[in-house]
Chain A
């Protein structure tokens, strides 16, 4: 079957909802394609509070936050919503192959917004030696079992990786009566937000083993235990010092991977650092008419940023359809010092937008840091941070007037240990 729309939004999580809303509000004919049974994406299983502080200035749970956006989207007649619809392919000429219980669909769109979110790194990616029993889950899958299906994945639980999902699941499982033995983290510092460390581990006396990792899996049928070992400065485990921990469940919270298989099919270049497409200030990818927002663009720690990216992607899609995005010149956004990644990776000129939001992640935790925006040796602007951490995104806004006539854009983050 065939269908034509102005904007196709792939993924109905917070990124896609905001993208659809923003494009819909501008009168465009929008179609949201979502493989889940409901809109809302990963938020549906995040039943803890902590969402929306920036955008709604209220503390909401994940489903509550999603509900607000779903309402906004449903109120617009020109937005069509297809759930239980899996997108299988996207071609470089903006044809989408999708499938649902009604049939197979070939959808032609004038612009496409990618908002497929991310998936978790798995046991297979880590290649931990030992047996392959049941009882090993990614934290997100465990979260789904507990919060949506209503089942406990186990009773004696060890968590590998101190990412936010793992931390939140530590508390959640404790509430459900499971024993949470501890959280093991390979790096010398935690991977999750400070508020989650305090509220999910410290408040419940759950130990955090920094600079440790799981080196062996035990148990033939169900997991019986694991060996953990300290790691040296280079992250290599010191096996002589391994010790046994008895547990029936191992949760992995070891990182998220933007889900860009579809973007790759559409031949869109990806940034090895973010795992998402290269974009400009419009969040338009290297291939014109394709936009990206949310966790498919870069892994965000706050949903509010995801929504803001969605709003921008929807607005930009309209600009693109009207022919307002010119790309007469392209300037890369350079990063140096303690910066690991940046979005957008380059600016298109003319800039058009009044201001540009930049998202960064840092390499190492550091105190008393200063972020410089430089053109060659000239400092254009500075920002001060008492503390920067890899777990927390740096987000800044820069007025376009500063960047309109520069020859180089170079962000440098400097700080002390």
Chain B
């Protein structure tokens, strides 16, 4: 291989795409059953403007650059992106002072259009906000996207351009060799000239594996969320922030591109990197703080909760480093917030890094644009009618909440990069993410999977491993007991 990318989060997938435009042999390794299973799956989905990071840090630079790259990137990859704007609320004089500081920091970082507005102006634009608010910082450049759809589309694009992708393959060893490295996984060994380590929360382990002498430690910080029913979609149209504190950006009220509202995240240092549990205390904190920004949210509008883990590190800033002792390994680590926003800029940095080492020859047949995936719920009635004529399965709606047809599911199942799990289909098609939580569609989807792949319904899992959904056929145990 020329390049091995470790980690299929937003950073790894966008780097894979960026490098796929050149004649290189690239392999992306991801240990989970699907890509975008780490921080990229569970975050706020905000494309931050960039007033928050301290000037001249990697965070500030990549954030502002990333924000600029988003509209074109999402339009090429046919992923939803919306500049919905944001408001940072101040409830007292001290907080107003901080808004001034943020505005100034934003100016230094190169963020355009920041403006401090009055309570009246704010309530005119966002009438559901707590009327005790005093002022707000208006951030026109703030946006929202779907982090996992972006990662999925970027990687599918890279794959169409020739990048190899191996799922359920965990890097377990990195050994220095003449002219490169041997990368050992649970399944294979590969020789590669270059490695890009963007293994998220586990990136420090890769550093250790490779024998790099650098004291870098990731301290996982969990963030918990509520998801509200689409019925609440009109609650706010911009992203609503409290005034930040030294501890972080705080708990927000966030519209999503799908039309739901998220409340969260809190910030909890944890010991276990896999601990994605939600907690009583955490959810309580999120609820209390979010409803301080936007009061009167009925608890019955909650349709889900989840948690994500930030790869915060002792380095504070993003670590973007090639160590002298280990030339050829680019580490892009400690990518906590605003990593989603910065990822397109990080991909550019990775490309420039490689360009200094190798002559990058553009691949003629490589594509930047993707064809739009057709979603029944987004089509006009004429388009729907046309598709049903071509294939009646477009007219069989399997997901009652998100209006997903059988044909959409079949097309995704047939894509080689789609894992044959329920969660992979959820991420790609939203089946099972609506108000019925999959109660209606799960049997239908298992049936379609079973028919497409010729395997019984109980052979499928939620998210790989031991997460099977159904046990045996009825009476199996019964029969066994009677037989013995």
Contact = CB atoms under 8 A, between A and B. Distances in A.
Nearest to B383: A104
B397 A35 contact: yes
B481 interface: yes
A222 interface: yes
B442 A124 contact: no
Contact of B473 (A123, A125, A129, A151): A151
A235 interface: no
A59 to B, nearest CB: 24
Interface stretch (A94-102, A204-212, A297-305): A94-102
A149 B443 contact: yes
Contacts of B227: 124
A145 B276 CA distance: 29
B241 to A, nearest CB: 23
Contact of A122 (B437, B467, B472): B437
Interface stretch (A132-140, A358-366, A384-392): A132-140
A292 B280 CA distance: 39
Interface stretch (B192-200, B321-329, B340-348, B456-464): B456-464
A97 B384 CA distance: 12
Q: Considering the complex of A and B, which 7 residue pairs feature the smallest CB-CB distances, nearest first?
A: A101-B392, A177-B478, A122-B437, A134-B462, A221-B467, A124-B304, A177-B477
B124 to A, nearest CB: 26
Interface of B: 226-227, 274, 276-280, 282-283, 300, 302-306, 381, 384-385, 388-389, 392-393, 395-397, 400, 403, 422, 435-440, 442-443, 446-447, 457-458, 461-478, 481
B277 A86 contact: no
Contacts of B466: 221-222
Contacts of B463: 134, 221
Contact of B474 (A99, A124, A152): A152
Which of A84, A120, A150, A153 is packed against the most chain B CB atoms within 10 Å?
A150
Interface of chain B: mostly helix, strand, loop or mixed: mixed
A97 B395 CA distance: 12
A61 interface: no
A300 to B, nearest CB: 19
Interface of A: 1, 35, 84, 86, 88, 97, 99-104, 119-120, 122-125, 127, 129-135, 137-138, 140-141, 144-146, 148-155, 176-178, 215, 217, 220-222, 239
B169 to A, nearest CB: 18
Which of B389, B437, B464, B466 is packed against the most chain A CB atoms within 10 Å?
B437
A185 B377 CA distance: 38
Which of B227, B396, B471, B472 is packed against the most chain A CB atoms within 10 Å?
B471
A144 B443 contact: yes
A194 B276 CA distance: 40
Nearest to A88: B403
Nearest to A173: B474
Given A99-B388, A122-B437, A127 B283 contact: yes
Contacts of A135: 469
Nearest to B421: A134
B478 A35 contact: no
Given A84-B396, A129-B278, A176-B478, A103 B389 contact: yes
Contacts of A100: 395-396
A179 to B, nearest CB: 9
Contacts of A1: 385
A176 B461 CA distance: 22
B456 to A, nearest CB: 8
Nearest to B465: A221
A71 B465 CA distance: 47
A102 B476 CA distance: 40
A296 to B, nearest CB: 14
Given A125-B302, A154-B471, A103 B280 contact: no
B436 to A, nearest CB: 5
Contacts of A97: 381
Interface of chain A: mostly helix, strand, loop or mixed: mixed
Contacts of B472: 151-152
Contacts of B469: 134-135, 153
Contacts of A239: 280
Contacts of B478: 176-177
A134 B385 contact: no
Given A124-B227, A124-B305, 10 more contacts: A35-B397, A120-B439, A122-B435, A127-B226, A129-B278, A132-B276, A137-B439, A151-B458, A152-B474, A221-B466
A403 B267 CA distance: 61
A132 B280 contact: no
A99 B384 contact: yes
B473 A86 contact: no
29 contacts: A88-B403, A100-B396, A101-B393, A101-B395, A102-B395, A103-B385, A120-B436, A122-B303, A124-B435, A124-B437, A129-B277, A129-B279, A129-B280, A129-B305, A131-B276, A133-B462, A134-B422, A134-B463, A145-B443, A146-B474, A149-B443, A152-B472, A152-B477, A176-B475, A176-B477, A177-B476, A177-B481, A178-B477, A221-B463
A232 to B, nearest CB: 15
Nearest to B393: A101
A222 B467 contact: yes
A133 B305 contact: no
A155 B473 CA distance: 11
A251 to B, nearest CB: 11
B292 to A, nearest CB: 19
A140 B466 CA distance: 24
A148 to B, nearest CB: 8
Contact of A151 (B439, B474, B481): B474
A103 B305 contact: no
B467 A124 contact: no
A178 B481 CA distance: 12
B32 to A, nearest CB: 11
A253 B137 CA distance: 46
A332 to B, nearest CB: 24
B476 A152 contact: yes
Contact of A123 (B226, B437, B464, B477): B437
B396 A104 contact: no
Given A134-B461, A222-B466, A104 B384 contact: yes
B471 A122 contact: no
Given A119-B439, A222-B466, A149 B457 contact: yes
Contact of A86 (B276, B397, B443, B468): B397
Contacts of A155: 471, 477
